[in-house]
Amino acid sequence: MIKRPIPALLLALSFSWTSSAMAEDVIQADPVSAVDEKLDIKQQEIKALEEQYAVESSQLKGLKNDNVRLQREGEELEAKRNRAKAALDKQYARLLEDPDTDLVSFQKKYQESWEAVKQNQSEKLKSEQNIVESESRLSQQKQKLARLNSEYTNLQEARVEARVKRLEAELRESSVLETRYTATCSSTMTIGECIGQSKYLTKQKAVNTFKDKLLDRLTESALAKQNLQGVQLNIHVQESQTIESGFSGNGAYTTHIQAQLQAKPDPSAACQLLAVSSRYCLSNSSTSTKQEKKDWVTVTVRSDQYNDAVTINGVNYGSTPVELLLPKGKHRFTVSKPGYQTYNREIYVGGTDTVWVKLVEDKQG
């Protein structure tokens, strides 16, 4: 079984990714928690104002009932005053015939009834003023309540947006994994085909392992797993290095690799996983997605040989096939194998592409 040293680059990538992830956990506050705090405060404000509104409404109802009572009492007092006035007028008429006619008691009753009417009118005026003031306070509270409810609705929208942004950030996570897989090769396969199949299946296992870990680490993991069907996470093996490989008998070939993987999910993936409208994703990620598609492309390197060595921009990526993400632009591709002429080209990468290499046997060697 062949063992290969782990490149320092991959070790550095592994350490730097872990460190940055830990740093993000420490430094960056959860945007959803920040919105939740605002929602709690706003909900408390709404509840307090609703209680004030209920108290004011009850008081207004009482004021209106009092006003109805005063109106009714006013009618009765006015009728009583009219009766007292009629009795007094009758006494004045008698006075013309009988100078000794008593007017004092009738005058007193009329004065008392008139004072009662004026008192009632004063109370009605005050009651009507209190009703106007109470209705004004209710109107102001109603307007404020509508504003608070509108702000609460906006915060709920902001919470969905924050959930989407948080999930989008979590889905962009990168990780370095070690993966081992043993493939059973059929008797009709060549050694190269057997090795190629083992490497491919090992990378597939790495992708599946990364996917499982990625989903487990999500803040809303349970919901995301529930809505996972049909969601494109687009997990890429950015870099890989064979640590150990070889036959173990009975057509079994074991491959042990270390690979750096990253997900490049579709723009609407976060919304699909959270079961929210796609407008939250399209508005948040249209610009960044266009930038990603513009700057990064998937490149696959293949050759007609096995156990070759692929180097891109001076970095060793193991043997073909190699699939990774590269920024658009010129890159130096080198594919070598003992006994063959080294393939060395500077190639402009402008989109998703496959670099096919045919190694020529070095007859001089």
ω before 267 within 30° of 0 (cis)?
A: no
pLDDT at 97: 85
- Structural fold of domain 294-364: Immunoglobulin-like (2.60.40)
Calpha distance 347→328 (Å, rounded): 10
Nearest Cα residue to 202 out of 250, 263, 256: 256
Pairing of strands 322-327, 2-3: unpaired
**3-state class (DSSP) for residue 158:** helix
pTM given for the model: 0.61
Query: Do 31-167 and 294-364 come out as alike in CATH topology?
Result: no
Tokens representing residue 123 in the block: 């109370």
pLDDT at 24: 43
Q: Which residue type occupies 99?
A: P
Q: Are 113 and 77 in contact (CB under 8 A)?
A: yes
pLDDT along the chain (365 residues), means of 10: 43 37 50 92 95 95 96 94 91 85 88 94 95 92 88 91 93 90 84 84 90 94 94 88 86 90 91 93 56 66 88 81 83 92 92 90 76
Calpha distance 57→138 (Å, rounded): 7
pLDDT at 283: 60
CB neighbours of 121 closer than 8 A, spacing ≥ 6?
74
pLDDT at 69: 96
Nearest Cα residue to 63 out of 138, 172, 8, 1: 138
CATH number of 31-167: 1.10.287
Residue-range domain boundaries for the chain: 31-167, 172-280, 294-364
Q: What letter does residue 262 receive in the DSSP assignment?
A: E
Nearest Cα residue to 14 out of 203, 208, 175: 175
